[in-house]
Amino acid sequence: MKDVIDVLALQSSRRERRLPDYRSAPSHSLATNFIFECGIKLGLQPATVATAAVFYHKFFKEADKNDYDCYVICTACLCAAGKSRDEPVRLRDAVNVAHNSINRGAGPLELGDEYWSWRGAVAQAELLVLRLLGFNLDTPSPHRYLLHYLRSLQEWFPPSQWRSAPIARTAMAFLQDFHHSPSILEYRAPHVAVACLTLALHVLGVSVPLASTLDDDAAWYSVFTKDLQKEKNWEIMEKIMQVYSREPEPI
């Protein structure tokens, strides 16, 4: 029994070491990491966490990054995203998760001044986020497009080839990671989904069956979205790859 506990302790301490230290990070450099970490800890769906990241990027497209506390706004974005996608988060849980992620190893907050000022700040920030977004909370969901494209492609691939590479998982991971970049706001959801899928196929060295028989200016994804040029697709893929080069401290 003792061995098991030791292993667990070892694993958790190793995991702890790999988690980013938000307190020493330059402001906003780890904002989206914080959203993803807290979102996962709060048990939110990936698409909801992604929505929170979109809210964050939209907010700071309008507001000055020096004017607001990054992590309070991030927490508020998670709360607003949860509500808008019908996956509400208790304010108290959000506050505790945020506090604990910043102060690693700290227990839940006592119901004291610190708790109430955190809570007040997040509640206010949520209203501020809503106001700045003009209550436009309906974010286009590239997740849905990607899922639909994956389902369609799966039918097109020979089953053995489809199973040989983790196409769906890789494409979904690219999509989720792309939410670290404010560039996600610049492209239409179907285009983002196609770019994630194309990039996954390239990375895994898989080609779409019979794609090589197409004309030069035709692309296999034109059945999904007609108005995506090849150059544009490359541009989005490059933006996705940039996420990995600028990530300061991987989780």
Partner 1 sequence: MSGASTSHSPPQMASITDVSGLFQNAKKYEELNVIGTGAYGTVYKARDLHNGGNIVAMKKVKVALTEDGIPLSTLREIALLRQLEAYRHPNIVRLLDVCHGGQSLERDSQLVLFLVFEHVDQDLESFLKRSLSPLSQNTIRSMSFDILSGIDFLHSHRIVHRDLKPHNLLVTSSGRVKLADFGLAKTYDTDMKLTSVVVTLWYRPPEVLLGTSYNTAVDVWSAGCVLAQLHTRKPLLPGASDSDQLHEIFRLIGRPSRQEWPENVSIMLDSFPAYQAQDLAEVLPRIHPHALELIKGMLIFDPAKRLTALDCLEHPYFTDEPLT
Q: List residues binding partner 1 (CB under 8 A).
A: 22-24, 27, 67-72, 79-80, 83-84, 86, 88-91, 98-99, 102-103, 106, 114, 116-118, 120-128, 130-131, 134-138
Residue labelled with tokens 């794609």: 211
In the bound complex, what is the minimum distance in angstroms from residue 24's beta carbon to partner 1?
Answer: 6
In the bound complex, what is the minimum distance in angstroms from residue 230's beta carbon to partner 1?
Answer: 29
Q: Closest CB to partner 1 among 113 and 155?
A: 113
What is the rounded CA–CA span in Å between residue 182 and residue 60? 9
81-96-38 Cα angle (round to 5): 45
Q: Closest CB to partner 1 among 53 and 125?
A: 125
What is the rounded CA–CA span in Å between residue 81 and residue 17? 29
Q: Closest CB to partner 1 among 102 and 173?
A: 102
Q: Closest CB to partner 1 among 92 and 232?
A: 92
For residue 175, how many other CB atoms are within 10 A of its CB? 27
In the bound complex, what is the minimum distance in angstroms from residue 119's beta carbon to partner 1?
Answer: 8
What is the rounded CA–CA span in Å between residue 100 and residue 120? 17
Burial of 41 (0-12, 13-18, 19+ CB in 10 A): middle
In the bound complex, what is the minimum distance in angstroms from residue 188's beta carbon to partner 1?
Answer: 14
What is the rounded CA–CA span in Å between residue 164 and residue 207? 12
Q: Closest CB to partner 1 among 121 and 153?
A: 121
Q: Closest CB to partner 1 among 117 and 222?
A: 117
CA dihedral 55, 84, 41, 62 (to 10 degrees): 10
In the bound complex, what is the minimum distance in angstroms from residue 75's beta carbon to partner 1?
Answer: 9
Distances (CA, A) of 122 to 30, 41, 51, 207: 18, 17, 17, 47
In the bound complex, what is the minimum distance in angstroms from residue 246's beta carbon to partner 1?
Answer: 21
